[in-house]
Amino acid sequence: MVDPLSKIDLAFSDEVQEHRNPVLGAIMHAVSWPGYTPNSEIMVGFTALLFLLFRYKREALFICLTGAAGLVSTIVKMLVNRPRPLPTLVDVMEKTEQKSFPSGHVLFYTVFFGFLALLMFWRKKIPKWVRMPASVCSFVMIFTIPLSRIYLGAHWFTDVTGGFLLGLICLYVIGYFYFKSGQQSQRHR
């Protein structure tokens, strides 16, 4: 097996982890918490249920589809088979079982929160007092999760970068079919 460790990965981990303190540690754990099973499934299900209750059936269905990010992550992890950061190289504050590349948290957050932000931008009938905080929260989660995963020693920089790029691809696919299905339903009215 080829050692996937790079100077960039080590340098980035050292830089992020040198700023450790209890408050920042608690924040980083809190940012990662929704991405764990079953929390992520509950979050997807609850969000889909909210859309369904307010008669956004198509949106509820596509929110459910964001959960497929976990399957994409698992398949790519099995194919790449990259080991997690070792405690001899970084401070591992969070031990995990699956392989390291890509970061499943980053992939999931990019897809789920990215699609939620897209809906908040696109669905103008949703009240602004809901759309604005949901959008801000979504962007905060998307852009803090990579730092959280590196800070906790769960991933390398290249893992979170790969998770983000794969997440963007998945988000594009879900967004494409969401808008395509919307155009077809408009034609049938």
Residue 88 pLDDT: 86
Give domain status of residue 60, yes or no: yes
Q: State the Rg of the chain over Cα.
A: 18
CA 131/CA 122 separation, integer angstroms:
10
Residue 172 included in any domain: yes
Q: How confident is the model at residue 15 (pLDDT cuts 50, 70, 90)?
A: very high
The verdict on residue 6 lying in a domain is no
Domain assignment present for 63: yes
For residues 152 and 94, the answer to whether their CB atoms sit within 8 Å is: yes
Average pLDDT for the chain? 91
Give the total number of structural domains in the chain.
1
Give a yes or no: residue 16 inside a domain.
no
7 part of a folded domain: no
Query: Does residue 136 lie within any of the structural domains?
Result: yes
- pLDDT at residue 95 above 90? no
Does some domain include residue 111? yes
Q: Which residues of 133-145 are buried (b: 16+ CB within 10 A; e: fewer)?
A: ebbeebeebbebb
Q: Please work out, in degrees rounded to the nearest 5, the angle formed at the alpha carbon of residue 109 by the alpha carbons of 76 and 166.
A: 35
pLDDT tens digits, residue range 43-86? 999 999 999 999 999 999 999 999 999 999 999 999 999 989 98
pLDDT in tens, 111-134: 999 999 999 998 889 999 999 999
Print the domain residue range for 32: 21-187
